[in-house]
């Protein structure tokens, strides 16, 4: 799954399942960029949610470091790493979760399933 697809599915999740809407004063910004989280929800200029996305060919472990940095910068925002179901064979979603648990990382992990629905694998601590 390409990272652009992951971004699109996360954006849909934020709008349709998390119910962040412009009418309620939320701003959803989702685009792949070189710095900062790929999907951000803001309200009144304050970041509420930030999601780093990775595609199946991306460096998943660098995403952990990026989320750690984003959380440090905006510790009041919900922070997630979103990865696709079709990770490379040498990376397992459970291993990523164990790394996060072992190091008591304060952000969540979601997997984009084959049907495009995000599934939260690890809740925010």
- All structural domains of the chain, each given as residue ranges with its CATH number in brackets, are 3-122 (3.40.1350)
Region of 70 (left: φ > 0; alpha: ψ -120 to 50; beta: rest) is: alpha
Q: Which residues contact 92 (CB under 8 A, 6 or more apart)?
A: none
- Residues 69-109: tens digit of each pLDDT: 999 888 889 999 999 999 988 889 999 999 999 999 889 99
Q: Measured between alpha carbons, how far is residue 45 from residues 14, 40, 48, 78 in Å?
A: 17, 11, 9, 15
Q: Measured between alpha carbons, how far is residue 30 from residues 72, 96, 103 in Å?
A: 20, 24, 28
> Which pTM does this prediction carry?
0.91
- Residues 1-29: tens digit of each pLDDT: 999 999 999 999 999 999 999 999 999 99
């Amino acid at each position: 799954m390409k990272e652009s697809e992951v971004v699109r599915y996360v954006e849909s999740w934020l709008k349709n399942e998390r119910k962040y809407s412009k009418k309620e004063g939320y701003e959803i910004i989702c685009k792949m960029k070189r710095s900062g989280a790929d999907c951000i929800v803001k309200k009144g200029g304050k970041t509420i949610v930030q999601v780093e996305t990775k595609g199946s060919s991306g460096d998943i472990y660098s995403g952990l470091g990026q989320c750690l940095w984003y959380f440090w910068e905006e510790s009041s925002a919900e922070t997630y790493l979103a990865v696709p179901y079709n990770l490379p064979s040498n990376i397992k979603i459970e291993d990523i979760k164990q790394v996060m648990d072992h190091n008591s990382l304060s952000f969540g992990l979601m997997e984009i399933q084959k049907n495009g629905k995000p599934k939260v694998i690890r809740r925010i601590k």
